[in-house]
Structure 1
Amino acid sequence: MIALLVLALAFLEIAAMRVIGVDGNRLTAALLALTPYWAVGGLMLGGVSLGLRHWWIGGIVLAVALALVAMQVPRAIAATQPPAHGAALRVMSSNQYLGHADVDTIVRLVRENQIDVLNLLELTPREVREFERAGLFETLPYRVLKPQYGGAGSGIVSRYPLTELSLAGPSRMEQPSARVDLGGTSIEIVAVHPIPPTTDAAEWKKEVAGLPGPDSHGPVRILAGDFNATVDHATFRDLLGAGYTDAALSRGEAFTSTWPSRFFPPPVTIDHVLVDPRVAVEHYRVLDVPGSDHKAVLAELTLP
């Protein structure tokens, strides 16, 4: 009885934070990332409690677990896309895991998928030299690169001319941004990489809040990268509430995990491509990158 009650209270606390929209501290932010697993665990806990005839515990836990499941279901359902008849654009983002990701694989994926804009997180000076050797800049010649040793570097490389901007607020890790000139059409893109909430939850919230919102009267904006956040974080949902569309959610692929690339800790979806609501998401995929602890994310878009 006591063990069931303790487990039930822990489950209900996390469920309440998810429903209310509070990310809390480093520990609770980490636990909220596991909400899909909590929902399944709640169903099991509720069923066990009812089986042991602890009716109140079982009934409450099961009802809350079912509510969590209902909140998760839309992630597997593709949404209707807005009417968009402009240029096609393929955007990919890859966390390079302190510069250890396999460079040749990235270049191959860029060529095979005809990527137009590539965001690179945790980009190091050594890896920039390796990309030069592997021919990435022959395919994507335009660059806004902010490499650093360790995990703080980032960069944007493009098939089309880039003009460096300063769209993101202050952050401990580089979050470069640029205007992409597609020849008569311009978009704005940010390589997103806020500090993880498990390092400093308050700073993470501040850095995510410092990302630019969509501008319905200006160029299309795209945020792509490692947000260190899932859809179950209120901090991330605030971005969606500002008007962005998550490419994975839009295509019913939001259960596809992006980190870690191995099986432990439990995989979650923290890499995203967010697009202006005027943009149609035609396809979304998650791609394996040897040497990285993240998977790359790719979105094929049609601009308005």
Structure 2
Amino acid sequence: MVRGLTVLCWAVATPGLLWAAVRLLGVERGPLVQLLAFTPYVAGWSLLPVALSLALRRWWPAGVAAVAAVALIAVVAPRAFGGGSPAGGGGPTLRVLTANLLAGAGDAPTLVRLVRERQVDVLAVQEFTPEAAARLDASGLAELMPHRRLNPVAGTEGSGLYSRFPLTATGVRENPGGFTQAYGTLTAPGAAPATVESVHPAAPYSLGQLRAWERDLDAQPRATPGGPIRILAGDFNATLDHAPLRRLIASGYRDAADATGAGLAGTWGPYLPDQRHSSDRVPAIRRMAARITGDRIPPVTIDHVLVDRRVGVRDVSVLRLPGSDHRPVYAELALPRAELGG
């Protein structure tokens, strides 16, 4: 009996330690890539092996479990508290909204209403289709955001960038994994020019896609601390616990949600049942996934707004968009003033 309890304590303490090692070393491979997205949940669970081992007076397992818990909580907890506004926080405001439209099925009137109510300056959309483009303009987006660089494609590969301000140096980048990314440079009144890109790397939904996923993330535009200001907004298909996204951020970005204490708000997960009012536009594969998974997938944070460290972050909200399995992310930013821009 005594030996069995010791084995039990080790059995519940060891997985947490291994998980912490993979996360801290950034060595996720194979199925670990998908699993690592749920690190915030594992961080909360990691306290249970500590309590169990202490209650049973198994000091070595308790020590190992405590090390794992401290490591996991240390990397996750700061997302709930924020890190203050980066330099440049007193400049002109830029309001950014990003939304994955689920192969064009996202509800256009709702998205346009969010743009109007939040006074959004730039909108980045992914899984953007010709039908979605038509519905958005019919719902009033053409008047609100007359400047755009659009690449609508049937299916999930399309991308779009809308703006209240004129766009220059626009283009569309095609990721090796197949998704496209619209981009352009805008200049808000009194602010330094900023290049905004609608980000959408490949999703790691199968083992065969992992190489494309990592390649697409590694190909994202790096920050240019001494040059043009960059903002990346979109569906990154990665959380802050994935090494490729952390490498990108380390080039000179900050995650806006992380900076304001909203970094644990889920943006993708058990939202497929919301499709009931637009099931005619939801791809068959997504409807099948809804029937199979229902609400059993815990929400994860894979939609982000990454900002140049010279950009201030005033507010971040995760909103709702019927018809999509993602939730839009709204970020209110403070750009450097024109005389301070690179």
Q: Where on the TM-score scale, by shorter chain, does this alignment land: which range?
A: over 0.9
Instruction: Please say if 1:30 is aligned against 2:34.
Output: yes
Which residue does the alignment assign to 2:183? 177
Decide whether aligned partners of structure 1 residues 168 and 183 sit closer, same or farther in structure 2, where only a CA change above 3 A counts: farther
Which residue does the alignment assign to 1:55? 59
In the TM superposition, 1:255-266 aligns within 5 A as 255-262=264-271, 263-266=295-298
304, 319, 336: which one pairs with 1:287? 319
**Contact 1:47 1:62 (8 Å CA) reproduced:** no
Instruction: Give the aligned residue type for 1:83.
Output: G
94, 106, 118: which one pairs with 1:89? 94
**Contact 2:128 2:159 (8 Å CA) reproduced:** yes
**Contact 2:172 2:180 (8 Å CA) reproduced:** no
Instruction: Give the aligned residue type for 2:101.
Output: Q
Give how far 1:142 is off. 1.3
Which residue does the alignment assign to 2:308? 276
SS for the counterpart of 1:176 is strand
Decide whether aligned partners of structure 1 residues 248 and 74 sit closer, same or farther in structure 2, where only a CA change above 3 A counts: same
Instruction: Give the aligned residue type for 2:322.
Output: P
SS for the counterpart of 1:175 is strand
Structure 1: which 5+ residue stretches go unaligned?
none
Decide whether aligned partners of structure 1 residues 22 and 140 sit closer, same or farther in structure 2, where only a CA change above 3 A counts: same
The worse-fitting range, judged by mean Cα deviation, of 116-125 and 142-151 is 142-151
Which residue does the alignment assign to 1:140? 145
SS for the counterpart of 2:252 is coil
SS for the counterpart of 2:70 is helix
Matched residues in 1 for 2:314 and 2:174: separation? 27
SS for the counterpart of 2:160 is strand
In the TM superposition, 1:194-205 aligns within 5 A as 194-199=201-206, 200-205=209-214
Matched residues in 2 for 1:57 and 1:74: separation? 26
Bigger fraction of residues in helix: 2
SS for the counterpart of 2:326 is coil
Give how far 1:12 is off. 2.4
Instruction: Give the aligned residue type for 2:52.
Output: V
Give how far 1:4 is off. 5.0
59, 62, 70: which one pairs with 2:74? 70
Instruction: Give the aligned residue type for 2:325.
Output: D
Matched residues in 1 for 2:159 and 2:45: separation? 37
SS for the counterpart of 1:9 is helix
Decide whether aligned partners of structure 1 residues 57 and 240 sit closer, same or farther in structure 2, where only a CA change above 3 A counts: same
In the TM superposition, 1:100-249 aligns within 5 A as 100-163=105-168, 164-165=170-171, 170-182=176-188, 185-199=192-206, 200-249=209-258
In the TM superposition, 1:36-51 aligns within 5 A as 36-51=40-55
Which residue does the alignment assign to 1:267? 299
RMSD: 1.9
Matched residues in 2 for 1:142 and 1:178: separation? 10
Provide the identity percentage: 42
Which residue does the alignment assign to 1:299? 331
What's the TM-score once normalised by structure 2's chain length?
A: 0.83
Structure 2: which 5+ residue stretches go unaligned?
272-294, 337-342
Higher CA-based Rg? 2
Decide whether aligned partners of structure 1 residues 261 and 134 sit closer, same or farther in structure 2, where only a CA change above 3 A counts: farther
**Contact 1:14 1:31 (8 Å CA) reproduced:** no
